[in-house]
Amino acid sequence: MSRINFKKMVSRANESALLRDLANICGDSYTVWDATDTVVHGHGAESGKRSPVTVDGDVVGWVSAGKSEEMLASLLRYFAVREKEKVSLVRETLQKYKEITVLYDLAGKIAASLNIEEVAKLVIDEALKVIKADNVSLMLINGDSGCLETLGAVGKECHPKTPISIGTGIVGHVAATGKAEIINSVETDPRFVPGSSMIRSMISAPLKIKERVVGVINFSCEELHNFAAEDLKMAETIAFQAALFIDNARFVTRLSESEKEFRQLYEQYHSLYENAVEGIFQLTLEGRFISVNPAVVKMLEYSSPEEIISGLTNIATQLYVNAEDHAKFNSILTEKSQVIGFEAQMLRSDGQHIWISISARIVSDEHDIPLLIEGALLDITERKEKEEARKEREVAEIKSRFIRETFGRYLSDEIVDSILEDPAGLTLGGEKRTVTIMMTDLRGFTSICERLPAEAVVGMINIYLEVMTRIIFKYQGTIDEFIGDAILVIFGAPVLRDDDALRAVACALDMQLAMREVNERNLAAGYPEVLMGIGINTGSAVVGNIGSSRRVKYGAVGSSVNLTSRIESYTVGGQILISESTAQACGEHLRIDSQLEVMPKGVKTPITIYEVGGTKWTVNLSLPKQGTEEMSELSPPLKISFAPLVDKDAGTRTHNGLVCRLSERMAEVHAETTMEKLTNLRITVFDHQGESIATDIYAKVSDQMTDTPSAFRIHFTSITPETAELIKKLSNVA
């Protein structure tokens, strides 16, 4: 822990004033001792009871007072922690200054040296100035053998050492892991391999270049020495800088060798000017050709050097395709006196465009007065064409990734692959076409959400959507949108198929059957069971990328989408209702269990919708028929009140009735008023004394049995678990 001067801290004006004021407020006298039991502040509190002042578990002082003792101790702890932070900050600042000074001195001395052995010696000499050690060695990994070999050392380590394999011993382990280590007692370390010279303590730090270990620097003492964390930090800093210097020395050596080879080659082939592959030229400062070699003549498709020299009087317009390129070339040349690898399009004598790379420099006399421009031309047309082709491929790949990432979230892999194979099949921006639309919804999920915590609601939704998404993709459906617990799916966009309607119905059947899996997972997670209704409609809609410049999504809009939602609203849990257009598109492949006329909102004439119970198309799927549950007679009947729902809102008028027969999911109601089929109801149940025993039960009228007296059958769409238990008990369901 950073040491603090407790007495000095307590004696400062601000701190002592705060202590006095706090004690005076409580009417106390107090005494403060430091860790050595020396009184450092206050007087008058001679009680044997004292409270410690601690920082990070260490006692730095004591305080004794009356009622204010705990408050004074807390205040002193706050002062001590703040003081410790100041001390730590000073220590860290000094350490950073020390590191910067070492690096600055090291950089200044090594800057003039490009010999790798000299660099190693300078690093070791500077390292010994800041880290106390008997021996220092700098080892590099041999690229051929893969072993650590000594580049330089001082102390008893100065003698050549046997190469060390990576992973062997402490040094080999540091090279393998890339992590510096302090070992203050090497004899107790199982990795230690004794050498010719005895050492007792050491630091080993890796030399790394871009996370690649190239060597290690080692500091060791012949006697036990307690290396500190600051020593390890400094060793890492020196190792980092040494790696950079050594890598730079290696680079300069290679560069020097390359430059030497280049000069030899240049001198060797300078005499071959006439046969050079590169076009070599000289220009006046105004831009007229003085000389060109045959390569330039061939490159530009002229008959002779003389034709170029005499014919090209204004190269900005006669040679450059874009005059702006010539102006830019001249600007760079004027500013830097040379241009390397400037690329521009040029005109051949036959009018064709070619890509040229130009390197040039201004030639001056001994008084730095510019005389002319000389340089070389290289035909890079083939390379530029390849680059252009590569860019086109990259653009195509980016488009492919965009399509896969964008459409992969709501299309199956099969559909995405087909779009990538034939992009013409995807019309962006929207088009009108006939599609089959499916809308699903969980019955009573809103009331379930009100009873469950948020994480449970999210958990249920995730289970449901995971299972349903898998099935939708199985039947090549396009997920338009997740709307809470509802899913809007399109069949026929972006890929139009002849069997879109059949696949939509088969998908719906498969989804209803999969609700068993959903509820099994719900129960295992402690969630309630849920039921789903599905509506399907086939009709014209606008499909495509819909939205704004800020947000775009692929989807469908139109009255057909709205009608699908209306059809779905007529369903009860476990039911699939389809429009007449969908039924006609599916033909004889469906099992229709029932049909009814409805008048959805926004429709001028009644429409017929059909309840689907199964299909024997390419797949054989079947659901149990709705309304086949056996109901128990209730004696006496249960009293209820019910209110019809309009757009999910209950009206102000309620009606009384009796539940005469009951099952887990259905009930037979006798009432004074008739209820139209598919009317949604909110129900309250009363016991025989007229007390409410169950509220907020939601149901849908599934069948009007008689008008006089009124009797109708209802199907429960949302009930609480407590109500479900009550219904089970009343209907004698085990």
Domains of the chain in sequence order = 6-89 (no CATH), 113-254 (3.30.450.40), 273-379 (3.30.450.20), 428-622 (3.30.70.1230), 632-730 (2.40.10.220)
More confident: 515 or 731: 515
In this structure, of 213-227, 569-583, 711-725, the range with the lowest mean pLDDT score is 711-725
Tokens of 185: 């007692």
Q: How far apart are CA 60 and CA 36, in angstroms?
A: 9
| Phi, psi of 276, deg, nearest 5 | -65, 140
Q: What is the pLDDT of residues 117-131, one digit of tens each?
A: 888 888 888 888 888
Q: Which residues face 668 on adjacent strands?
A: 661, 713
In this structure, of 48-52, 114-118, 183-187, 417-421, the range with the lowest mean pLDDT score is 417-421
276: amino acid identity, one letter: A
Q: What is residue 582's predicted lDDT score, i.e. its pLDDT?
A: 97
Q: How far is CA 203 from CA 181, 485, 688, 697, in A?
A: 6, 62, 88, 75
Quick check: 217 and 207 in contact, CB under 8 A? yes
Q: Which residues contact 716 (CB under 8 A, 6 or more apart)?
A: 665, 666, 667, 697, 698, 699, 727
Q: Quick one: which of 175, 196, 200, 169 has its CA closest to 186?
A: 200
Q: What is residue 423's predicted lDDT score, i.e. its pLDDT?
A: 57
Q: What is residue 31's predicted lDDT score, i.e. its pLDDT?
A: 86
Q: How far apart are CA 675 and CA 644, in angstroms?
A: 8
Q: Quick one: which of 101, 143, 113 has its CA closest to 246?
A: 113
Handedness of CA 696, 701, 707, 711 (dihedral sign): negative
Q: Quick one: which of 375, 374, 388, 311 has its CA closest to 348?
A: 311
Model confidence at 670: pLDDT above 80: yes
Q: Which residues contact 422 (CB under 8 A, 6 or more apart)?
A: none
Question: How far is C-alpha 702 from the chain's CA centre?
Answer: 49
Q: How far apart are CA 564 and CA 581, in angstroms?
A: 11
Model confidence at 546: pLDDT above 80: no
Most confident range (mean pLDDT) of 21-30, 519-528, 724-733 is 519-528
Q: pTM of whole model > 0.75?
A: no
| Phi, psi of 430, deg, nearest 5 | 105, 145
Q: Quick one: which of 681, 678, 626 has its CA closest to 648?
A: 681
Q: What is residue 99's predicted lDDT score, i.e. its pLDDT?
A: 58
How much is the average pLDDT of 563-587? Answer: 93
More confident: 409 or 79: 79
521: amino acid identity, one letter: R
Q: How far apart are CA 317 and CA 321, in angstroms?
A: 7
How much is the average pLDDT of 706-720? Answer: 84
